[in-house]
Amino acid sequence: MFTRAYLRASTEDQDASRAKGDLQAFAAEKGLTIASYYLENESGASLQRPELFRLLGDCQPGDILLIEQVDRLSRLNAADWERLKSEIASRRVKVVALDLPTSHMLAKASPDDFTARMLEAVNGMMLDVLAAVARKDYEDRRRRQAQGIVQAKEDKTKYRGRREDTDRNAGIVKMLESGMAWSNIIAATKCSRSTLARLAKRL
């Protein structure tokens, strides 16, 4: 029985190897030796994950697929999650996740066939629940992002900045044309030096 660790991050801006230390500590605690690591930066909402399927292709029946959290394995929709589960089941791979305590028992040899089947059934049910939660979290975040973009566009449309005081600025331009010192213009009009500089460029 081999243990193969899978580490995934959503984008290239994130470090997929961040959880490596946690997986190593868990494996040491359970007396497991991690045979290989598979790292990739892909979305958990997509089945297009070459490293995950390379891992499954390397597995033998009874091997362990070790992950930090269930959402590292799946943020898939229901149909794609069923496809991935089918692939895992066909290869008779055990999924063990640090955030899924019921799966930890799969890291040990089961005393009998009945117990093994019971553990697999319970673990499978909990995997389904956490995969569904991970998908909902993904969809909620996408919806909030979309709403934020719409709100930002609306706010930008509403706010167009302070309107220019054209009468005052026309007077300042005349003062500049007459050769009045900047300090005197600022004292008389209370305008800022940056405003004065901007108006001077118009001359």
CB 123 within 8 A of CB 100: yes
Residues 6+ apart with CB under 8 A from 4: 34, 35, 36, 37, 38, 55, 58, 59, 63, 64, 65, 66
Whole-number Å distance between alpha carbons of 77 and 200: 61
Residues in the chain: 203
| Whether 46 is catalytic | no
Bridge partner residues of 83 (DSSP):
none
Query: What letters, b where the CB count within 10 A reaches 16 and e where it falls short, cover 95-113?
Result: bbbbebeebbbbbeeeeee
Bridge partner residues of 41 (DSSP):
9
Catalytic residue list: 10
